[in-house]
Amino acid sequence: MKELLVFGGAGQVGRAITAVAGSDWRISSPSSTTVNLRDPDAAGRHILDVRPHAIINAAAYTRVDDAESEREGAFAVNAAAPGAMARAAAELGVPFVHVSTDYVFDGTGTRPYRTDAPTNPLNVYGESKRAGEIAVMAANPNAAIVRTAWVHAGWGVNFVATAVRLLTSGKSMQVVDDQVGTPTHAVNLAAALLHLLGRSAVGGMYHFTDAGVASWYDVACCVHETLHNAGRLPAGVAVTPVDSAAYPRPARRPQISILETHTSRRAVGWLQPHWREGVATSVRDLLNA
Ligand SMILES: NC(=O)c1ccc[n+]([C@@H]2O[C@H](COP(=O)([O-])OP(=O)(O)OC[C@H]3O[C@@H](n4cnc5c(N)ncnc54)[C@H](OP(=O)(O)O)[C@@H]3O)[C@@H](O)[C@H]2O)c1
């Protein structure tokens, strides 16, 4: 059996990779205390010690607002460490897949972002993730970079989990309807990453999200409807739309960050389910947890 080394194995996407990897892969995943990516060289050393058959980097500094005041930490984890991983993978000659984000774009585009669209991050998290993409490409031209967006699952910290917690406890929600993107179930993304690893050559830039587009308000409405259908919505609990100006946050967010996924989908022969299916799955998993 081949060994797949996953950084960030305890995160939303990391856990999903373990859930869907099946019997083709034996997964090893160092905790963030065993290999702390704030020391970027630790990642490279770990790869050369373990000598895996393939590597996925699903680890990241993902606290978007905190990154504004912790630039150094965000750049160490999101830029320098992936660069070191890509270098070590090149040295071993094994496939390396790095996960990135729609936040490398500024969200002012009028059509879905292609993989080669100009980047222009609005916040430190996005800047650090873009720096990570550049470091990975420079260190290893055979690496694959997979941008995704609005990740959620029945575990971890995400908007769907927050909405389920609030709505089931009887709290109505006001949710912004002027930020648009594509909610993506971590399991669907994980399946796409593993599918990519199954190909003979993985290198390049890819966009994988679930299908369709939504505002955060749409996502909350989908959670509301799923809870209602499951008989788990307290009476009188509502979701109403609000302007993002009503919720100022430390980090600016892209307003329309839709990734063009058709090209990646065609290139690797992969079909994503609609985002509503993924959100309903997360809600049901959260209710059953
Ligand atoms: N979440 C989203 O909406 C979203 C959207 C677009 C792209 N992405 C990208 O998707 C990937 C996976 O995101 P996710 O949602 O699964 O993230 P997540 O749930 O926040 O998990 C992040 C993982 O990174 C690890 N990590 C953080 N700091 C570390 C450090 N200093 N050393 C070692 N490990 C560290 C965490 O370990 P600990 O738990 O031990 O700290 C955790 O396992 C990331 O590349 C992210 O940028 C996410």
Q: What global pTM score does this model have?
A: 0.96
For the chain, the first-to-last Cα distance in angstroms comes to 31
Residue nearest to ligand 1 atom 19, measured at CA? 11
CA–CA gap between residue 16 and residue 99 (Å, rounded): 13
- The architecture that CATH gives domain 2-157+183-211+253-273 is 3-Layer(aba) Sandwich (3.40)
State the pLDDT at residue 208.
96
Residues with C-beta less than 6 Å from any ligand 1 atom: 8, 10-14, 31-32, 36-38, 58-62, 77, 99, 101, 129, 148-151, 156
C-alpha 58 to ligand 1 mean position (Å): 6
Give the span between the Cα atoms of 218 and 194, in whole angstroms: 29
Indicate the top mutation candidate among 13, 62, 136, 216 to test ligand 1's pocket, ranked by most ligand atoms within 8 A of CB.
62
In whole angstroms, what is the distance from residue 45 CA to residue 29 CA?
14
Q: What share of the chain is helix, strand, coil (3-state, %, to 5)?
A: 45, 15, 40
Cite the active site residues: 125
Extract the tokens encoding 146. Answer: 């997979």
pLDDT in tens, the chain (289 residues): 899 999 999 999 999 999 999 888 999 999 999 999 999 899 999 999 999 999 999 999 999 999 999 999 999 999 999 999 999 999 999 999 999 999 999 999 889 999 999 999 999 999 999 999 999 999 999 999 999 999 999 999 999 999 999 999 999 999 999 999 999 999 999 999 999 998 878 899 999 999 999 999 999 999 999 999 999 999 999 999 999 988 889 999 999 999 999 999 888 888 889 999 999 999 999 999 9
Distance from residue 232's CA to the centre of ligand 1 (Å): 30
The confidence score (pLDDT) of residue 110 equals: 86
Q: Which atom of ligand 1 is nearest to the CA of 156?
A: 19
CA geometry: angle 164, 185, 211, nearest 5 deg: 115
Closest residue to atom 48 of ligand 1, CA basis: 151
Q: Is 184 helix (H, G, I), strand (E, B) or coil?
A: strand
Q: Which of 6, 18, 32 has the most ligand 1 atoms within 8 A of CB, as the residue to mutate?
A: 32
pLDDT at 129: 98
Q: Which two tokens stand for residue 201?
A: 């050559």
Residue 268: what pLDDT?
A: 84
Q: pLDDT at position 22, please? A: 83
Nearest-atom index, ligand 1, CA of 32: 33
Beta-bridge partner residues of 144 = 97, 204
| pLDDT for res 72 | 97
Q: For ligand 1, atom 17, name the residue with the nearest CA.
A: 11
pLDDT at 270: 81
- Cα(8) to centroid(ligand 1), Å: 6
Residue ranges per structural domain of the chain: 2-157+183-211+253-273
Are 212 and 277 in contact by the 8 Å Cβ rule? The answer is no
Angle subtended by helix axes 186-197 and 12-20, to nearest 10: 60
Q: What b/e string do you get for 83-109 counting C-beta neighbours within 10 Å, with b at 16 or more?
A: bbbbbbbeebebbbbbbbbbbbbbbeb
Q: Which residue lies with its CA nearest to atom 5 of ligand 1? A: 149
